[in-house]
Structure 1
Amino acid sequence: MAHPRHDPLTLALHWLIALLILGAYVTSELAQGRGGPGTNLHGSLGLAVFGLSLIRILWRGLAPHPAPVPMGAWMARAAHLAHVALYVTMLLAPALGLAALWARGSEMSFLGFIPLPSPMTPDRAFSRTLKGAHELASNALVILALLHAAAAIFHQYILRDGLLERMLPRRR
């Protein structure tokens, strides 16, 4: 059965992950350099993005979907590829960041009280490689998120097809 809007859990996960990505981006500046004051907050936000993204992907396979918005085949394909790229980078960026930290020989504590000790043997060169990959994946994630938002705005105000309204909370 097709539904006109996404379900409440999908909406909550979508917007919470978006806010966490924004928070991770902002705190990345605080985390610059080894052991900066924002490192643990940045890492915790990233791990929350990772965990909630896994839940979102699993839920996506289970949740009822709204009926597809009519659009050209190329646009539907582009939307599908963009969503896949978003999900991949939402998992890859935090995983690479944590691996870079562990490869450096550091540990992290999620939310300041759940220790995540490194299972890796320290290797500074590998850590630098992982850090570069983390930054690349993170930049790709931010760019994809901005393109995703731009596409939603395009659908709302140019195509006027109601696509964005399916992801917004109901107005009373």
Structure 2
Amino acid sequence: MAAPLLAFIFSLLAIASTVRGYNITKILANYPDYSSFNSYLSQTKLAEEINSYPTITLLALNNDAMASFAGKRQLSVVKKVLSLLTLLDYYDPESLHQISEGTTLSVTLYNNTAGNAPEYLGYVNITDLYGGQVAFGSAVSTLTSPNPLSKSLTTSPSSRSMLRSSLRES
């Protein structure tokens, strides 16, 4: 059942990105567990920015993670965090396990919107922990502990990917 659904979603993603343009909110609407994340992308206007990029990897947070994080923060802070979860590179589960030397830095939307964030603040450190594990963390090592990749939601080869992640605060 999951395989046909994933194939259908992949087809929709391919059509959306080639025919009508990419629309992250329409794609996320297929995932009820991410409705809060989707709503915040619209409220912060990040959806419009994300749709304009030809290559992204979105580290999506489910409703539980968003509730524990966003409910107690100002919208401007939520926007910064969501922009840090938007990588301006393409990663799918397969390519994450092929990172040379086991670790890499990826620039985020935050770096572009904040205008070259200081001290790697606008970058995410991606580490292949091997054994099927991949972790995402701040490139500024004192900010957060690594957050594991939970699963892939959807990908459009070589251009767009949505991965489920978690959010840990230190």
Same topology, TM > 0.5:
no
Structure showing greater radius of gyration is 1
Of structures 1 and 2, the one with the larger relative CO (CA 8 A, separation 6+) is: 1
Comparing both structures, which one devotes a greater share of its residues to strand? 2
> Taking structure 1 as the reference length, what is the TM-score of the superposition?
0.27
- Judging by fraction of residues, say which structure has more helix: 1
Q: What TM-score comes out, normalization by structure 2 length?
A: 0.28
